[in-house]
């Protein structure tokens, strides 16, 4: 008897589930339309048959304000282009994120340029040469970028204008496989982002 009730229990549960799941419910009533009818009424200012469309007057001041906006955008992009050309890279010794005296002098010049352009944002990109693992070089590139950002902050550049990214050995400046190429690849680059 016990075995019979154990075998019967799943069958009874399945039948109950099947009958309760098959309940019919109307989602849309048959007598009501799916969409309410729309009354066609002309909107204020809209053209109707026999009536002319109102003309819009464009004044020279409207055109001048648009031209001034474009002119100011051109000036901003020209300033950004000038800054991109003027800002200099810094270089590092092998397996180091310590700023050399030359790098500090370059960062001092770069900070003066950034102070002259207070609206620009800079992304400091840390790079490495091809020696070492990917993970190690990404971490080293990040330390190099952070070192430059820290020094720029001590020179008075606002921290919210600076961000970092590490490319490790992924973007070499020189694809060569010698000391000269490696020296060019151990660098921080400064990219104007805004």
Sequence-separated (6 or more) residues with CB below 8 Å from residue 128: 137, 140, 141, 144, 168, 169, 185, 186
Q: Which residue has the tokens 């030359």?
A: 102
Of 76, 102, 73, 74, nearest to 89 by C-alpha is 102
Residue 144 has φ and ψ, to the nearest 5°, of: -65, -45
pLDDT at 81: 80
Residue 117's Cα: distance from chain center in Å?
A: 22
**Looking at per-residue confidence, does 165 or 48 come out higher?**
165
For 54-81, write each residue's pLDDT tens digit. 555 555 555 566 556 666 566 657 767 8
Residue 51's Cα: distance from chain center in Å?
A: 50
Instruction: Judge contact between 170 and 128, C-beta under 8 A.
Output: no
Domain extents in the chain? 101-193
Measured between alpha carbons, how far is 77 from 90 in angstroms, rounded to an integer? 24
Measured between alpha carbons, how far is 115 from 162 in angstroms, rounded to an integer? 12
Using 50, 70 and 90 to split pLDDT, how confident is the model at 156? very high
Tell me the pTM. 0.61
CATH class of 101-193: alpha beta
Average pLDDT of the chain, as a whole number? 81
Residue 45 has pLDDT above 90, yes or no: no
For 78-127, write each residue's pLDDT tens digit. 767 888 888 999 999 999 999 999 999 999 999 999 999 998 999 999 99
Q: Which residue has the tokens 């970092």?
A: 164
Q: Which residue has the tokens 């019979």?
A: 4
Instruction: Judge contact between 189 and 127, C-beta under 8 A.
Output: yes
């Amino acid at each position: 008897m016990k075995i019979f009730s154990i075998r019967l229990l799943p069958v009874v549960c399945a039948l109950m589930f099947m009958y309760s799941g098959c309940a019919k419910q109307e989602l849309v009533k048959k007598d009501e339309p799916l969409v309410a009818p729309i009354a066609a009424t002309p909107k204020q200012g809209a053209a109707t048959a026999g009536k002319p469309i109102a003309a819009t007057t464009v004044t020279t001041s409207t055109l001048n304000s648009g031209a001034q906006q474009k002119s100011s955008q051109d000036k901003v992009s020209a300033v950004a282009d000038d800054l991109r050309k003027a800002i200099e890279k810094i270089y590092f010794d092998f397996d180091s994120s310590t700023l050399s005296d030359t790098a500090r002098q370059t960062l001092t010049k770069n900070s003066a340029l950034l102070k002259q352009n207070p609206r620009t944002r800079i992304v400091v990109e840390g790079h490495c040469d091809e020696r070492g693992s990917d993970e190690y070089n990404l971490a080293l590139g990040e330390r190099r970028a952070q070192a430059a950002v820290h020094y720029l902050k001590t020179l008075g550049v606002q921290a919210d204008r600076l961000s970092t990214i590490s490319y490790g050995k992924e973007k070499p400046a020189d694809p060569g496989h010698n000391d000269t190429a490696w020296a060019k690849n151990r660098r921080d680059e400064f990219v104007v982002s805004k």
